[in-house]
Structure 1
Amino acid sequence: MSIAEAYNCWAETYNDVPNKTRDLEARVIRESLEGKNLNNTLELGCGTGKNTYWLAERSKKLTALDFSEKMLEKAKQLDRENKINFQQADLNLVWPVPTEHFDLISCSLVLEHIENLDFIFVEAYRTLKKNSSFFICELHPFKQYLGSKARFENGNGTIELEVNMHHISDYIAAAQKSGFRIKKINESFDEDQKEIPRHISFIFEK
């Protein structure tokens, strides 16, 4: 099953089933970007909109990209006034957005499904204005080393999605190669904080 097919299947239950990785990430992005007032924001991999409407409240304009038709259908249901520019797009291809246009790019729980990080950072650099930020939050590589990956249950059992292993140094190298500066790195833990971190997040600046 391809990644797009898997997310189309997952869309129906994605918002309803408890998910520690999804729920902690929602907290991380809010803590990381709280207080920002933005003109134009680009969200990569918006999914069912778990962060989209929070970002929209802080942005004059929001463009949200995802390659899953069913995920986008779910996200659009809450946009009753059609304020958000939703677009179906493959992030592995040139993004259908203008150059030097955005104040912030947000990317959460997406890059494990992307093999070529260099391309993502090149496109992010192209589409951001100068002195703007690229926020990333992903499953921590430490979790991946132990076998954690995106998965969900359906009527046929557990569906495990195809993922790519990206080390912390891979993110930093791709960012610096594209011209970004590292502004912040943060590791986030489950509430008991007794285990390894669940997420790694970055803020890079153009």
Structure 2
Amino acid sequence: MSVQQAYDLWSASYDADHNPTRDLDRAVMTQVLGEQRFGIILEVGCGTGKNTGLLAEIGETLTAVDFSSGMLAKAKAKITAHNVTFQQADITKPWSTPAASFDLVTFNLILEHIEDLDFVMGQASQALATNGLLFICELHPFKQYRGSQAQFTQDGEVNFVPAFTHHTSDFLAAAQKHGLKLQSLNEWWHEDDGDKPPRLISFLFRK
């Protein structure tokens, strides 16, 4: 099953499923970006719109992109803000978004599904305006090392979404290669995680 097919299927239950990773990602976004304000924002991998509402509030205009038509349909149904434009796109191909235009670009829980991290980081850098910010929040590599992978259950069958492991150093190296300077790096735990390894890792880079 491809990533696109998996998320088209998952879109029907994604918002209702028990998913601490999804919930923690939303909380991280609110904590890190909720008090900031931006002009033009690009949300890469908007999914069902779990963070789109927040980004619409903190940005003057927002372009929300996803690969899955199923996920986009859910997002469009619940996000009606006048400053949001939805777009279906494959980010592993050259981006059609205008260069040097965005004040903020975000990736949330999607880069584990991208094999060529270098390419998408390069495209994000091209899309960013000078001094623009790139925010990334992804499943922590420690979780991947222990076998964690995006998955959902449908009709009693567990479906795994294709995933690739990116080490922390991979993110840092790709960012440096494309002229992005690290502003902060944080690790995040869900309240149910206890003494387990961190669930998510986030990066904030500036062009």
- TM class by shorter-chain length? over 0.9
Match for residue 22 of structure 1? Answer: 22
Instruction: Give secondary structure in 1 for the equivalent of 2:46.
Output: coil
| 3-state DSSP of counterpart to 1:132 | strand
Name the structure 2 match of 1:200.
Answer: 201
State the TM-score, normalized to the length of structure 2.
0.97
Q: Deviations over 1:68-122 (max 9, x none)?
A: 0010000001233553110000010111210110000011000000011111111
Does residue 130 (structure 1) correspond to residue 134 (structure 2)? The answer is no
Number of equivalenced pairs: 206
| Paired position in structure 2 for 1:109 | 109
Mean CA deviation greater in 79-88 or 180-189: 79-88
Q: Secondary structure at the match of 2:80?
A: coil
Q: Secondary structure at the match of 1:86?
A: strand
CA-atom RMSD in angstroms: 1.0
Alpha-carbon distance in 1 for matches of 2:126, 2:81: 30
CA contact (8 A) 2:52 2:79 kept: no
> Aligned partners of 1:132, 1:196: CA distance in 2, in Å?
31
Paired letter, 1:195: K
Pair 1:189 & 2:189 matched: yes
Distance (whole Å) between structure 2 residues aligned to residue 84 and residue 95 of structure 1: 18
Q: Which stretches in structure 1 are left out of the alignment for 5+ residues?
A: none
Percent identity of paired positions between Structure 1 and Structure 2: 46
User: In 2, Cα distance between the equivalents of 1:38 and 1:83?
Assistant: 13
Quote the Cα distance in structure 1 between the aligned partners of 2:86 and 2:113. 20
Q: What is the CA–CA distance in structure 1 between the aligned matches of 2:78 and 2:39, rounded to whole Å?
A: 21
Using the alignment, how far apart are the partners of 2:96 and 2:87 within structure 1? 8
- In structure 1, the partner of 2:3 is 3
In the alignment, what sits opposite 1:170? 170
| Structure 1 residues 71-86: aligned runs within 5 Å | 71-80=71-80, 82-86=82-86
Structure 2 gaps, min length 5: none
How far 1:194 moved relative to its partner? Answer: 1.2
